[in-house]
Structure 1
Amino acid sequence: MKHLQQNQEFRLNEILFENRNKQYGAYVLRNESDRILTKSLFIGVSLLAAISITPMIISTFRTVEINERDFTPVPPVMIDVEKKDPPAEVVPPKTVTPPPPSVRQYDSQVVTPTRDADESKIVKDIPKDAIAGVKNDFIAPPATTINIPTTIISGPGTITPPKVTPSTGPDNSVKEGGELSVEAQFADGIESFRNKVMNKFDNSDFESDYVMKTTITFIVERDGTISGIKADGKNLDFNAEALRTIKSIKGKWIPGKNKKGEAVRSYFKFPISMKFDN
């Protein structure tokens, strides 16, 4: 097929350049155009490949020179180790040195009390210039200098803090939600409680085309009573009537229980919504 096309082009060239100078450059270029294009294609691809591979070859054979002058040593990391002071030297307490014989003294030793104790050696009238000693000697002249230590130096000791026993009294905190295994409930059932609220609610003073809402929150105590009743509605009169209604309902509540099955104080929420016809 290609040979046929080349023959057709050759015939076309012969027709175009019939009776013309075939030595003219255009005739030669038209006959050799395919060969020139193919040669140019291979040359272009070869040059592109050489340009692409040259940087890779250069980087492969190039050695990296390390300049020692540009190297900056990393400063050492100083770890501050806290030095503990050596324990203080324990100095035993000094004993009381009995005064010399030339000093007035009185017997300051404490006698062990017994049933038949000898009180004859107990001296009640002690001279003012006498000092504590090991015997009663009021004849010697008064002492001039006495080495009696005034302080006792001792080493560090460990003081054991008193043991605090936690209180085992009842838990008075108020539980709610995930802290309860069983929620508090009205003894006769929640439907009975709802019916009592509807029957005791006085709606004679309310006229409104829209629904009035409030949520009553109170605490169910461990003994089944309720306390801390609150209302969070927007209408103050509606809140007041809702509080009065809840307080007027008689009946016991079953308290909620914690995860251990113990009766605890817990919150209970009761929503109220009403629409009054004019």
Structure 2
Amino acid sequence: MAETTAKATLDDIVFANRNKAYGAYTLRKDYPRTVARALLIGAVIFTLATLSPTIINALSSDNADEQAMVEVDLMKLPPPPIDPNEPPPPPPPPVELPKVNTVKFLPPEVKPDEEVPEETPPPAVEELKEAVAAEKTQEGDPNAEEVIVAPEETAGPTKVEVAVEAPAPKEDEVFTVVEQQPEFTGGMAALSSYLSKNLRYPAAAQRANVSGRVFVSFVVNTDGSIQDVQVLKGLGFGTDEEATRVVKAMPKWKPGKQSGRPVRVKYNLPINFQLE
């Protein structure tokens, strides 16, 4: 009985005379093995997490080595640089064309009687079947092909440039894009100065704290006068009417030109209303 008591564990003592099948006894009995297993799994996971960067770098270096091995087409490589100290290569030898059989036959030429040489009979038709008429008689390669060069006098007519004058623009036509755009007298700086001096901020827009741009469209006539003033995009509160008034009161512009002639041009102008 004493030996049996010595072998009894703390769990047996705690659960003496109690219901061991309830579950608590089994949990306390298996606790050491569960803790050991959890420590082992945690150690393995920690080791893998610590060594994962090394493993990833090793795998990526292997892939980089595999990707570095790329086939190179030697035919597409650029030529080696030319050394300026090396002499240039010699030119290729001239190609000698095979000679053809020729028979001396000069074209007739008008000369005084004293300078007329002895009459040379023209070549026979049989001779011209196997030879070509030329300035002298020579033997050539029978396999050579005859090359006939057309004289310069028989060359075709050359191209002649014909200047086509652009049609004159109509007087009532309104252009949107021209070679020379209309311009306010004095340039954009003078236009900005004119707007800053003559533009009045409407009281309704000031009370409503309205600011922004009003886009106005108008036509600059051939004499520089302003016509057909329209508001493309407005802000309201009196700003549209003020922008229209200022544009209509502008002095004459420099008219736009097309083909060197003044034409009517439609012009878009943004007018800025900004509270200070």
Q: State the TM-score bracket (shorter-chain normalisation).
A: 0.3 to 0.5
Query: Which structure shows the higher helix fraction?
Result: 2
Larger Rg: 1
TM-score normalised to the size of structure 2? 0.36
Q: TM-score, normalised by structure 1?
A: 0.35
